Amino acid sequence: MLFEAADTTAVEYQFDHVHSPEWFSEENPTPEDRLKAIEFEVATERHSHTAANYLYADGHVEVIPASQIAEWVDEDHNFARPPQ
């Protein structure tokens, strides 16, 4: 999955990935911590301050509202993890 990068860091060639395994780890024990970690790396409200585009490995793109990301975080659903 490809995310739209957040504006929290400068654009540099080495910033080519996010640290999604950490989002749902013990480092971020609460939904608030997880959402903060996600929003540090991903612009969840890039378009119209409500949603962002997400590119999947199969080539399709979905517009996912930031509210849906927050709901998944509350449910402890790691949306960045590939299906097992």
Q: What pLDDT, on a 0 to 100 scale, did the predictor assign at position 13?
A: 67
* pTM of this structure: 0.83
Average pLDDT over residues 9-31: 85
- Give the pLDDT confidence of 36-71 residue by residue, as tens digits: 999 999 999 999 999 999 988 899 999 999 999 999
Token pair, residue 65, equals: 């509202």
- Give the pLDDT confidence of 1-11 residue by residue, as tens digits: 777 778 777 77
HEC sequence for the chain: CECCECCCCCCCCCCCCCCHHHHCCCCCCCHHHHHHHHHHHECCCCECCCEEEEECCCCCEEEEEHHHHHHHHHCCCCCCCCCC
CA angle 58, 42, 63 (to 5 degrees): 50
What's the half-sphere exposure (Cβ side, CA atoms, 13 Å) at 68?
10
